[in-house]
Copies of this chain bind each other. A is one copy, B any other.
Amino acid sequence: MAARRCRIDDRMTLRMAVTSFESSLRQRCSNCSLREICLPLGLDAEELGKLDQLVKRRRRVFAGQHLFRAGDPLQSLAAVRTGFFKIYEVSAGGHEQITAFPMEGELMGLDAISNDIHRGNALALEDSEVCEIPFAKLEDLLSDLPRLQHQFHKLLSGAIASDHGLMMVLGTMTAELKVAAFLLNLADRLEARGQPRATIHLPMSREEIGNYLGLKLETVSRMFSKLRDDGLIATEGRKTEIRNYTGLRNLCLQGSARA
């Protein structure tokens, strides 16, 4: 296990060498996420070719580095190939709020299209790889490929839908349920990517989880302990194992039953 966390921002030196071979081990899919997303569309070879041309070379982002910051002009959307990010926004009053934890296969920067400027900051929580997709070129391509256009709309719409899911968590759940829902959400997303849903790595701190869920870090920790004591999960540092998936899910369901 090489080094994993890093606070110095945007100027990695020796760490780069150390971790560069590490991430090379992770290359599983032979192509970028955007193309993967489009595989079910039945595009022909020519169309797929256009898609490939669009995607710039993969880019590596080390733990603690920003891929983009609030205020940056939108040039490219970024699809996470490997690793984990956090997206956070800073309010006028200076408060940080994490709005998402994008993982493999998920797009970042969609909210920037509205005014061509990034609202959020994208910070790599672990050494990661992204595919950058120049947005202007993507839009050109979308006009030519209606099925791809439709898929892109689904993607944007899906982002709205998942934000609504989070709003429901924030608005209706107690601390215990919020944490349970958070773990279930991660488990489900892992499973959707063919990874085992029971074992979750959690590259983010308790404080970051709490920020995301509208809780304090101590409360998050207490709820992890409670879920552990109730036999629903097992914890070993940041490695979390879901011991009773249906139990967790039932907890969330009955919890939001009345209010």
A residues contacting B by CB (< 8 A) are 89, 91-95, 97, 99, 110-115, 119-120, 139-140, 142-144, 146, 149-150, 152-161, 163-164, 166-168, 170-172, 211-214, 252-259
Contacts and interface: CB of A to CB of B under 8 A. Distances in A.
Contact of A113 (B157, B167, B254): B157
B168 A166 contact: no
A166 B163 CA distance: 10
A122 to B, nearest CB: 13
A157 B212 CA distance: 21
B214 A257 contact: no
A254 to B, nearest CB: 6
Given A111-B161, A153-B113, A167 B168 contact: no
Given A113-B153, A154-B114, A156-B153, A97 B171 contact: yes
A12 B91 CA distance: 44
Contacts of A213: 171
A117 to B, nearest CB: 10
A158 B214 contact: no
Given A149-B139, A164-B119, A157 B114 contact: yes
Contacts of A167: 97, 99, 163, 166-167, 170
Contacts of A172: 91, 95, 97, 214
B257 A95 contact: yes
A142 B147 CA distance: 12
Contact of A93 (B93, B163, B257): B257
5 residue pairs, one from A and one from B, having the closest CB atoms: A113-B157, A93-B256, A114-B158, A114-B157, A171-B214
Given A160-B156, A163-B160, A167-B97, A91 B211 contact: no
A164 to B, nearest CB: 5
A170 B171 contact: yes
Given A94-B257, A111-B160, A258-B95, A153 B139 contact: yes
A91 B113 CA distance: 30
Contacts of A158: 114-115
A95 B144 CA distance: 43
Nearest to A160: B111
